[in-house]
Every structure is written in C-alpha cells, then in structure tokens.
Structure 1
Amino acid sequence: MIYAVWVPLLVPFLVVPAARRLADALSPRRAARLLAATGAGLALCTVCALALLVVPGAGRLSAVAAAGEFVRPLAAAEPALAVPLSAAALALLLGCALAVTRAARRHWAQLHRGSGPEPGDGNELAVLRDARPDAYALPGRPGRSGRIVVTTGMLHALDPAERDALLAHERAHLTGRHHLYLVGAELSARCHPALRALRAPMGYALERCADEAAARAVGDRALAARAIGRAALAARTAGGTAPTRPAPALAAAAGPVPRRVAALLGRTAARPRIGRAAAATLIACLAVSGAAALDATHDLHSSIETAQGETP
C-alpha cells in the first residue's frame, strides 16, 4: 500500500497532454465521453487513495484501535509518518467533499434561478428583445425541458438559413444534455487540481458535437460553419456591454470558434494515430489508477487482518 496508494494521486498529471490532443484527433462525441469517464474515474480513485491514507494513522488512535479490535498496531507505516500523513489526507478529503458539495449546490441553484423568459405552450424558443447579438441553450431543471434563448440582435445578424443552423446547434446542446458533462468535469476538478485541465477540452468537444449536429440538421457543413462564425463575430463586435448569460448556458459563440469552423470545413488534418494514442493514454491512466487503488485497498485489508490477530 505504501507505494500503490500514491499512484492515483500522481496519474492525473499524466492525462493533461493527451486530453489536449484528444478533441481534435477523435470524433467529438467519443472525445467527450472518454474525457468524462476519465475525469470521473480518476477523481474517484483520488478520493479512494486519500481515504486509504487516512486509515493507518487513524488506527493508531486508541478509540479506533478498540473499535477495530486491533491487538497490534497497523504495520502500514511508522507512527511518526502515519499520523501526520493521515491528518493531511483527512484534511484534503474533507476539502474535496466540501468543494464538490458547494459546486453541486451552486449548479442546482443556477438551474433554478436561470434568467430569461419561461417558454410557453411547449415552445422551446425564447426571444429576448435585446439589440446585443447573443444566443445560448439554457438547460432545464430535472423533469423540465430546457430552452433556447436568442436575442433580436442575433436574429437580425443572421439570414434565415443561418438562424436554422444556429438553433440546431443550441438544440443539440439541450438534447445531448451537454451541461451534465460540464458539471461532471467541474466536480472532478474539485477532487484533483490536475483534472481542471480536462474542462477546456471537454468544452471544445461538446461545442464540436453541437456543430456536427447542426451541420447534419441543415445538410450543409459550409452553412453551419458560416452561421457559427457570423454569430461569434456579431457577438464580439457589437457595441455596448456584453449580454449576461446564466451560468449553466452553452453558447454557439463560445470557445475557439476559428478552430471549430476549420474543423467543420475539413481544413484540419485528420490525425487518427494521434487520436488513438491519446485515447489509449487516457484509458491506460484510468486502468493503472484503478488497479493501484485496488491493490492498495487489498494491502490495507491484509494489514487490518494482521492487526486484528488474524491470518491474512
């Protein structure tokens, strides 16, 4: 356990370079799913490792030793090292729990107080009378559908075909429940600092998913690319203050728009080998972290049985 327990805490630092290459080298949907699984899995392994580090030091306490029926001390580590290490791990574990709870509560509150008009009669589209060009998908609370919010300024900035492509993009965010992927990435980042690097590739992959859905909906990749580019240009060059979006909103004009437009137009070189290598790296990191956590758990269990006077 002494060595294996550290692997889940170190592996997340290795996924950062692979995650940055994944979104362009793999299909957007696969990239988003793999990034989500990697973030959640490594976060879980991190929490497991911290919990395992707490036990040896806690076992030195008389109350814990009595509750665990220990007849001898745990052999996992020396007291001078085990106790401070367990205290530090406990502090980090409690910090993770508090950060995750706060982030989840904040997202829940934001869903409930999301600004913008409520659609009526089952209409998913809400139009704001605002000259500033903007459009975004606002996810709904559990049990309620979300809505697409677009300003009159954005409608005036695009022609009818481009509006259809833009609305198809935002609709893809809602039907794909893309905000849940972003929430998962945010919660994972609260468990390990290295996992914060997954948020940007995740956001890009989700925008690419919606871009591809818009292109399929209108049947014209060039039209979808033009709509996204013109929407982003209109939003960024409009005078006055920028529109204020609700925090859970996903907007077509967000992220690296030129990179997304180039991908839609086929101007980015296909790199299947890099994609496979990046995906293999993430899967390997997840497997190694999980195996190390299981190995550390088995070792700790054996140490506990030995401390209880049983034959492991």
Structure 2
Amino acid sequence: MPTLSLLLPLLLPLLAAPLARRLAEQLAPRAAALLLAGTAATLAAAAGTALALTAGTALLRLPPVAALGHLSPHWLPDSPYTATAAALALTATAALAVRTARRQLADLRRARAVVGPGTAALAVLDDERADAFALPGLPWQRGQVVVTTGMLRALDGPERAALLAHERAHLAGRHHLFLALAEYAAVLHPALRQLRTPLGYHLERWADESAARATGDRAATARAVGRAALAAAKAPRPDRPLLAPAAHTGPVPRRVAALLTPATRPRASATRTAAALALTACLALTAATTLDATTDLHRTVESAQAATR
C-alpha cells in the first residue's frame, strides 16, 4: 500500500483547516457554516480511514484473521511499527469518540430533566437567571426553545420576538448536528479543532440573519443579542448543554456590529478565489489518496487470497 496515500490524509488537514477558516470569513454565514462542516467531515473521514487501513493491514497478518479470510499473510505488506502506531491511535480516537458521545447525551438528558417532560415548542423556566437556548431533541423527542423568566424580563417585546426567532432558527437548521460534527472531527484529527470556534460563530450569525429576516428588524435583533448577553453574564446558568446553541454566546460585539450593517452579498476577490481553489485541491487530493489506499488494500487482499488457492 503506498505510504503517501496513507500519509496525505493525515497531513493535508494541517493546510486545509486554516484555508477553510480564511475562506469562511469571506462568505455569508450559512455558506460559511456549511463549508466548515463539510471540510471537517471530509478531512476527519479521510484521516479515520487512513488509520483504519493501516491498522487493518496488521490485523490481516494475524494467523486467525488470515485463515478466516482465506489469504496468505506473506503477500501483505509488512510494516509492524507503523501499523501498531495506527492501531493505538485508532483505539484512542474511538475511546475519545465514545466519551464525547456519552458526555453529549448526558448533557442533553440533564437539560431535559430541568425543562421537564413537556413537548411544547417553547419551554419557559421559572428562573431569575437570564438564559435562552435551542435544546435539541433526543432521537425520540422534538427540539424546544428554552427561555427563563429572567431573560424574558430583560428584553422588551420586539427583542423577545427576535431572540425566540434566533433560537427557532437554530432548531430549524439543526445546528446542534453541526456542533456535534465539529466535536467528532476534532477527535479524529487534532488540526480540526481550530474549526470548532469559527463554526460556532457562523452558526450564530446564520441564526442572527434568520431572526432579522423573520422579524424584519435588524436593529431589534442586534439589541436582543447584546442585551441577552449582558443579562446572561450577570448570573450564568451552568446546565446549558454544549450542543444547545444560544443567542448570547460567542463574539457578541462582532455579531451586533454585523447586524447593524446592512446585509450585503459578499463580493468575489482574488484572495477568496485563491483560497477556494487551494481548499478544493486539498479536499480533492485527500479524497483521491484515501480512495487509492482503499483500492490498493482491496487488490492486495485479493492477491493474498489468490495465493492460497
């Protein structure tokens, strides 16, 4: 199996992730979030596949596995150190992924216990601390917008409407899945951790713009974001799940400034074009090398099986 085909999916994220961050800054919020999530998914899948292929080669050389597959281990590449390292890395990432999933599920269950068993689209908690967030549903439940009485008192009528529209936009866009994807991608490759913060920002901007369109008032939406953040900062609630996006999180001053600026379509530029071309090349090369490594292993296994006949 070509070593380069296995190394590139592990090395290219070091270049592609910064390119994706830079390109996202020049796109509309929704397009930026989709770009970052798609990049993270592609690079993480390729890195995981490269590790699995490398570790799988060593597994196939084990006599019981070779006998089960009716193949001759002598036809398989012999790289015990590389395969052992890949197996250890794959085991570690699998353990981290399981721990991440358990933590996320526990967070959602704790939040559900606080909110209660109701299925209403809006849940109001009797709590003087200001908080509001989009609580995603478990597989058998629908998502809910959760807001405290303290947050409702901190905002006026138009601001409340904008805040609720913002949280509904998170649920409609299923933004919690984007956040979960970023967490798992960071587990599979450390270089992808740098995509989590910008993805969270662009998801908030996506919801900001959706709320501004729904209410028809960008200024009220900006005031809602700013005043919600100030109110929440006075007495933060510690039980909001990490996968529950909220209007008062992230770089609020930057988001407020964007809302107070008339919405315009991002213009094409030489820098944007160059970043897009470079990122496309990285992703295409990542996919091609991963496919090449997979095909090569398949052919090697077929040759090893043929040698036993």
TM range (shorter): 0.7 to 0.9
Question: In structure 2, how many angstroms separate the alpha carbons of the residues matched to 1:144 and 1:68?
Answer: 43
Question: In structure 1, how many angstroms separate the alpha carbons of the residues matched to 2:277 and 2:141?
Answer: 37
Are residue 157 (structure 1) and residue 154 (structure 2) matched?
yes
Q: Greater shift after overlay, 90-99 or 274-283?
A: 274-283
When residues 258 and 61 of structure 1 are mapped into structure 2, their CA distance, relative to the original with a 3 A threshold, is: same
1:186 shift after superposition: 0.8
Are residue 245 (structure 1) and residue 239 (structure 2) matched?
yes
Question: In structure 1, how many angstroms separate the alpha carbons of the residues matched to 2:272 and 2:253?
Answer: 21
* Cα deviation code 1:240-288 (max 9, x no counterpart): x422232132110100111112222227994533444444444332221
When residues 165 and 64 of structure 1 are mapped into structure 2, their CA distance, relative to the original with a 3 A threshold, is: same
Contact 2:130 2:150 in 1 (8 A): yes
Say which of 221, 225, 250 aligns to 2:222. Answer: 225
Contact 2:20 2:35 in 1 (8 A): no
Contact 1:119 1:147 in 2 (8 A): no
Matched residue, 1:264: 259
Matched residue, 1:10: 11
Provide the TM-score with structure 1 as the length reference: 0.87
Q: Greater shift after overlay, 241-250 or 84-93?
A: 241-250
Question: In structure 2, how many angstroms separate the alpha carbons of the residues matched to 1:123 and 1:307?
Answer: 59
Matched residue, 2:21: 20
Say which of 203, 210, 215 aligns to 2:212. Answer: 215
When residues 245 and 21 of structure 1 are mapped into structure 2, their CA distance, relative to the original with a 3 A threshold, is: farther
Question: In structure 1, how many angstroms separate the alpha carbons of the residues matched to 2:222 and 2:164?
Answer: 13
Unaligned residue ranges in structure 1 (runs of 5+): none
Q: SS in structure 2 opposite 1:145?
A: coil
When residues 280 and 262 of structure 1 are mapped into structure 2, their CA distance, relative to the original with a 3 A threshold, is: farther
Matched residue, 1:90: 87
* Cα deviation code 1:163-216 (max 9, x no counterpart): 111111011111211111111111111111111111111111110111011000
Q: Greater shift after overlay, 263-272 or 130-139?
A: 263-272
When residues 83 and 210 of structure 1 are mapped into structure 2, their CA distance, relative to the original with a 3 A threshold, is: same
Q: Greater shift after overlay, 260-269 or 14-23?
A: 260-269
Contact 2:60 2:73 in 1 (8 A): no
* Cα deviation code 1:289-308 (max 9, x no counterpart): 11001112222333334444
Matches for 1:5-84 after TM superposition, within 5 Å: 5-71=6-72, 73-74=74-75, 76=77, 79=78, 82-84=79-81
Q: SS in structure 1 opposite 2:25?
A: helix
Amino acid of the residue matched to residue 259 of structure 2? L
Question: What RMSD in Å do the two structures reach over aligned CA positions?
Answer: 2.4
When residues 23 and 263 of structure 1 are mapped into structure 2, their CA distance, relative to the original with a 3 A threshold, is: farther
Question: In structure 1, how many angstroms separate the alpha carbons of the residues matched to 2:194 and 2:126?
Answer: 37
Amino acid of the residue matched to residue 17 of structure 1? P
Question: In structure 2, how many angstroms separate the alpha carbons of the residues matched to 1:275 and 1:217?
Answer: 30
When residues 279 and 264 of structure 1 are mapped into structure 2, their CA distance, relative to the original with a 3 A threshold, is: farther
Question: In structure 2, how many angstroms separate the alpha carbons of the residues matched to 1:151 and 1:60?
Answer: 59
Provide the TM-score with structure 2 as the length reference: 0.88
Question: In structure 1, how many angstroms separate the alpha carbons of the residues matched to 2:66 and 2:51?
Answer: 20
When residues 279 and 104 of structure 1 are mapped into structure 2, their CA distance, relative to the original with a 3 A threshold, is: farther
Amino acid of the residue matched to residue 35 of structure 2? L
Say which of 115, 118, 122 aligns to 1:117. Answer: 115
Amino acid of the residue matched to residue 258 of structure 1? P
Unaligned residue ranges in structure 2 (runs of 5+): none
Amino acid of the residue matched to residue 156 of structure 1? R
Are residue 295 (structure 1) and residue 288 (structure 2) matched?
no
Q: SS in structure 2 opposite 1:3?
A: helix
Question: In structure 2, how many angstroms separate the alpha carbons of the residues matched to 1:71 and 1:132?
Answer: 67
Overall identity of the aligned pairs, in %: 53
Matched residue, 1:135: 132
